[in-house]
Structure 1
Amino acid sequence: MLEKVDAEVLAERERIAARVRDELVAAALPVVAPGLYTVLSQGIEVTIDPFDDDAGGVSVAWRSSARLQSCVLRAVKHNLLDDPVLSHQQVVLEAMLAAITAILVSAGFTVRESRNDYAPFTLEVLAGPGGPPSWGLRKDEVAVANWSAGDGGASANESER
């Protein structure tokens, strides 16, 4: 029987998954909301495996549109292995995972192709960055020039010193 990871490891996986979602949304990619009904979901899906095994951790996959998925399933169901939609879906998955990998590595994540045979076309996020994201607000964006508290308090520029 598979053992679940402890609360501390699970919390770290959740932190990494949240940072992954944030970075990919910052890059203007669609990210599937956790818990969204599968038929309605398309875009990047980030999942957390709570088990303590080699396949565990944070996984990232691309979910094509429901229409493309339906066409792929139809081709497989009818054994139409030469249907162009099958090769097209593979190209889409490979291209999106390459883009996702490049974005996450640039943002400081450690990523690899999944070693889980049951999850092809999936990435594993092994570690995430610890510092603030590159797209985060900076002090000069938050401070308002010559602003004061109105009751004799320090101005925003003085409080940064």
Structure 2
Amino acid sequence: MTEENEWGLRPLAPSEADRLRGLAAAVAADLARSGLVVSGQQNQHRETSVGGLRVEVDEFDDAAGGIWLHWEGHPSLREATIEALRGQRLDDPVIAAAGRIQERMASTILCMLGALGYVAEASEDDYRPLAVKVLSAAI
């Protein structure tokens, strides 16, 4: 049995964490074969990512644990969005465009996963808006 850390989070048992990492690798490989650019895993520096699909494996035994897929736009879009937000230009078209792209890519990723036989759902996690959570393997 694994013990809680100082934040009250309990890591998954090693065998379950290994299963989750294996499923994440299979999902990433299938989506890459389908044409998506997989930009890296959860520990890659986001600042240097060229964009594409980022796979996150949350290895804690709680509702937020599991495999999360995030779409990341090109660095120029990310930077333009950040600059608009820093400048408090909330009506800047780049912010709306970036949001629409995130929404549509999440929907596309869900469709692709379904076509590949995976079970997945749109995020309801406030800390992972517009992400996709993979629930089970291809059938």
User: Fold-level match, TM-score > 0.5?
Assistant: yes
* 8 Å CA contact 1:110, 1:125 repeated in 2: yes
One-letter code aligned to 1:78:
G
1:28 Cα deviation after fit: 1.1
One-letter code aligned to 1:36:
Q
Q: How many residue pairs are counted as aligned between the two chains?
A: 130
Out of 43, 54, 62, the residue aligned to residue 63 of structure 2 is: 54
Does 2:3 align with 1:7?
no
Percent of pairs identical after alignment? Answer: 28
1:94 Cα deviation after fit: 1.1
Does 2:46 align with 1:38?
yes
Spell out the pairing of 1:14-33 with structure 2 (5 A cutoff).
14-33=21-40
Does 2:126 align with 1:87?
no
Partners in 2 of 1:50 and 1:109 — Cα distance? 19
Partners in 1 of 2:46 and 2:130 — Cα distance? 17
Q: Which of the pair is proportionally richer in strand? A: 2
Deviations 1:40-59 (A, max 9, x none): 21100011001011010000
Partners in 2 of 1:107 and 1:69 — Cα distance? 29
One-letter code aligned to 1:109:
Y
* 8 Å CA contact 1:46, 1:60 repeated in 2: yes
Partners in 2 of 1:97 and 1:26 — Cα distance? 18
Structure 2 unaligned blocks of 5 or more: 1-7
Partners in 1 of 2:33 and 2:63 — Cα distance? 30
TM-score w.r.t. the length of structure 2 is 0.89
One-letter code aligned to 2:72:
R
Structure 1 unaligned blocks of 5 or more: 131-161
